[in-house]
A = this chain, B = another copy of it.
Amino acid sequence: MTQVYTQSHFIIGVDIGGTKIAAGLVDSEGEIKSQARAPMVSDRGAATGLAAVTSAIQLISSGIADKQISIGGIGICAPGPLDPKTGIVVNPPNLPCWRNFPLAEEVGKIYRLPVKIDNDANAAALAEVYWGAGQGYGNVFYATIGTGIGTGIVYDRRIYHGRTGAAGEGGHMSIDYRGPRCGCGKPGCIEALAAGPAIAKRAQTKLTDHGSRSAILDLANGKIADVSSEMVGQAYSAGDCMAKEVLMETVELLSIWLSNVVDMLDPEVVIIGGGVAAMLCPLFDEIRSRLPKYCINSRCQEIPLLKARYGADAGIAGGAALCSTALA
């Protein structure tokens, strides 16, 4: 059976990483109807970088060439710093090909379509509001917890950009100014305390210090240095005590951090996605139950803490959300 597409109800969402690009065809319900991957070429000049992006877009558009559909726009998630208003990619460390590169304009010229760009967490936050766990809410705090912690703020159903588009970097909020230094240089960022590598490190430290038995070590074939956050999650699911200890410490840190966020933003809902979040999902109630202890917001317990709709596809959906006004 041929899938029926109706005119203009589609956006191409593109997610540019340091080494690969994902693109997808997204409908007006936020469904990703098809997707493709292409390598990103980030070290051979601006034009080559652009060609990598268009080749990913081409994979999608060629797949729909024979169907009765038209594309309303292209939305792109790219590494920051970037300027969402002008569509310029400023100078991302992992995309040396682009320095003050007018990505939106260049892609727009090629396809003669509206093109929007933003960073991935901002875009994913918007996708959750339009099509995901944030539907029905206008005022949302979104966090994706994986190797790092990316966050985005949606206010009145629009991304909170701040002055230059650099707002919403809640993953680099320090809750421990004397704590371990984050990759960004600041001590005690929640990313340095509670993202995947920090969870693995915490488990490794406990295994080294206590030398006690734990299912975590079995999963790592006895090699402490090989312990990952995924193994901690697996061991926790299997009832391992040390894994529980590690995750409960993580939960406590995330609770204090979220209390900072809630007291600052008073969102209608908090949405959490990302690989580590999937593992923490059974502990969301635990995090929420700790908020009243730390928030001065007297109604913080009313704020739902929800799992994101989008997982690994968040960048594609997010890209599409940026252009969703172009959806008929």
List A residues at the B interface (Cβ < 8 Å).
Answer: 81, 90-91, 139, 153, 155, 160-170, 172-178, 184-188, 253, 256, 259-261, 263-268, 293-299, 303
Q: Which of B90, B177, B263 contacts A172 (CB 8 A)?
A: B263
6 closest residue pairs by CB, A with B: A162-B266, A167-B266, A169-B263, A166-B266, A166-B297, A173-B260
Question: Quick check: B299 and A164 within 8 Å, CB to CB?
Answer: yes
- A163-B268, A172-B263 known, 16 other contacts, Cβ within 8 Å: A139-B162, A139-B163, A164-B299, A165-B266, A166-B296, A166-B299, A167-B265, A173-B173, A173-B260, A173-B263, A174-B256, A174-B259, A185-B294, A185-B296, A186-B256, A186-B295
Question: Quick check: A175 and B172 within 8 Å, CB to CB?
Answer: no
Q: Which residues of chain B are near A163, meaning CB under 8 Å?
A: 139, 266-268, 299, 303
A151 to chain B, nearest CB (A): 8
Question: Quick check: B265 and A162 within 8 Å, CB to CB?
Answer: yes
Complex: A264 Cα to B164 Cα, angstroms: 12
Q: How many chain copies? A: 2
Question: Quick check: A175 and B188 within 8 Å, CB to CB?
Answer: yes
Complex: A259 Cα to B172 Cα, angstroms: 9
A225 to chain B, nearest CB (A): 27
Nearest chain-B residue to A160 (Cβ)?
A: B155
A140 to chain B, nearest CB (A): 10
Question: Quick check: A185 and B293 within 8 Å, CB to CB?
Answer: yes
Q: Which residues of chain B are near A299, meaning CB under 8 Å?
A: 81, 163-164, 166
Q: Which residues of chain B are near A165, meaning CB under 8 Å?
A: 266
Question: Quick check: A264 and B177 within 8 Å, CB to CB?
Answer: no
- Known contacts: A163-B139, A164-B299, A264-B169. The answer to whether A253 contacts B177 by CB under 8 A is yes
A312 to chain B, nearest CB (A): 24
Q: Which residues of chain B are near A263, meaning CB under 8 Å?
A: 166-167, 169-170, 172-173
A169 to chain B, nearest CB (A): 4
Q: Which residues of chain B are near A172, meaning CB under 8 Å?
A: 260, 263, 296
Complex: A286 Cα to B123 Cα, angstroms: 35
- Known contacts: A166-B266, A167-B264, A303-B163. The answer to whether A296 contacts B175 by CB under 8 A is no
Q: Which residues of chain B are near A184, meaning CB under 8 Å?
A: 296
Nearest chain-B residue to A297 (Cβ)?
A: B166
Nearest chain-B residue to A183 (Cβ)?
A: B296
Complex: A294 Cα to B172 Cα, angstroms: 9
Complex: A155 Cα to B299 Cα, angstroms: 23
Question: Quick check: B296 and A169 within 8 Å, CB to CB?
Answer: yes
Q: Which residues of chain B are near A295, meaning CB under 8 Å?
A: 186
Complex: A130 Cα to B269 Cα, angstroms: 31
